[in-house]
Amino acid sequence: VGIRSVDGEEVPKLDPERIFYAHALAACGRDRDWFEQVSARLSQDVYVTIDLDCFDPSIMPSTGTPEPGGMNWYQVTGLLRYVAERHRIVGFDVVELLPRASDPAPDFLAAKLVYNVLSSIFANR
């Protein structure tokens, strides 16, 4: 979810039915129908990996591969909440934080994201 670029060697390995490109999500605007499209492709038990470079670098510049056109806070947290309400999140991880001493705000975004995911998981048990 939120893919903005793909290495050419990876393209043959991708399942186009399970890819949600960032430009398509941006075109949806505030329409949340894509939450259901993502949810429909998941099993009941899900493990969630949140790569912080899914966020737009304007709010998450502290990643190893910042790429313009990423998702915003409400898209990501809304999707995670939607998934937690309809599936059983059996575990999750957050990856790609590259802290910078000069800008601690992204560190707080990552911490708050973990808090929100945990809250969503336990609110739906």
* 57 falls within a domain: yes
* pLDDT tens digits, one per residue of 32-86: 777 787 788 888 999 998 989 889 899 999 998 888 888 889 889 988 999 999 9
Residue 4 included in any domain? no
Among residues 66, 69, 71, which one has the least CA distance to residue 98? 66
- Distance CA(27)–CA(33), nearest Å, equals 12
Q: For residue 3, is it within any domain?
A: no
Output the domain CATH number for residue 110: 3.40.800.10
Identify the pLDDT of residue 14: 63
Q: What is the pTM (predicted TM-score) of this model?
A: 0.81
Residue 1 located in a structural domain: no
Task: For residue 15, give its domain range.
Answer: 11-123
The helix-helix angle for 33-40 and 73-86 (nearest 10°) equals: 50
How many structural domains does the chain have?
1
pLDDT tens track for 63-77? 988 888 888 898 899
